[in-house]
Structure 1
Amino acid sequence: MNLGILFIRLFLGITFIIHGSQKVFSGFGEPMSMMESLGVPAFIGIILALFELIGGILIVCGLFINFMASGFIVIMLGALFTVHLKQGYMDSEFVVALLIMSVSMLLSYDWKKTIQLY
């Protein structure tokens, strides 16, 4: 058992649970307006918020880690290149850290297993 990877997985999952629940339980207003400001249909904001919340829960529980990490990589790349990168590294370093943690999850867990508790 690799305790370091477990801690990264738990931190990543909890972070996405917190950010996703903030968006979901506030009525989806913020993610919908963000998507509209980027020229993307507003319902994509709802899908992303739900994916962050549900994906975070699944990662913490050790379920579908590789699939959720793949989704988080796509979300973080989108956030990085559409919003954060033009603000400079200091404003995008957290997104980069979440991206690297997601890549670590993708590389560290077995695709053949859907349940991985550690």
Structure 2
Amino acid sequence: MSPLITRVLSTRAGYGLTILRIFVGVIFAAHGSQKLFGWFGGGGLAGTAQFMESVGLAPGTLMALLSGGTEFFGGLALIIGLLARPAALGLSVLTLVAIFS
């Protein structure tokens, strides 16, 4: 196995970091499910697409699908602990786009 793959899949996290990872994963997965499915009082894909268009992120449907999918599936990856580092990278980029737009 290559050193890069070994490094991505390995962990030295204790209980505290595991609890924090799960907590953050639940928050992102819930927020992504609001965007994609309209759960927990969210607007669903159509409502999120309209919002994305209104803030200048076009095409709105594609941007809503990408952001909701990244939040939902990245959050699930953090909860499970499967490929948590790439999921955290995707969620970080998504959060930076949200901050600067």
TM-score using structure 1 length: 0.64
Whole-Å separation in 2 of the counterparts to 1:71 and 1:34 = 21
State the superposition RMSD in angstroms: 1.3
Deviations 1:87-116 (A, max 9, x none): xxxxxxxxxxxxxxxxxxxxxxxxxxxxxx
Work out which of the residue numbers 44, 48, 55 in structure 2 matches 1:31. 48
Give, in angstroms, the shift of residue 31 of structure 1.
Answer: 2.1
> Could you say which residue in structure 2 is the equivalent of 1:68?
87
- Give CA-to-partner distance per residue, 1:28-80, whole Å, 9 cap, x none: 12321222112221111111101111111111111111111001111111112
Q: Secondary structure at the match of 2:82?
A: coil
Secondary structure at the counterpart of residue 56 of structure 2: coil
Pick one of 33, 40, 45 that aligns with 1:21: 33
Pick from 10, 32, 41 the counterpart of residue 22 of structure 2. 10
TM-score, length of structure 2 as denominator length: 0.73
Note the 1:1-118 alignment, pairs <5 A: 1-26=13-38, 27-40=44-57, 41-42=59-60, 43-82=62-101
Distance, in Å, in 1 between the alignment partners of 2:78 and 2:100 is: 24
Deviating 4+ runs (over 3 angstroms): none
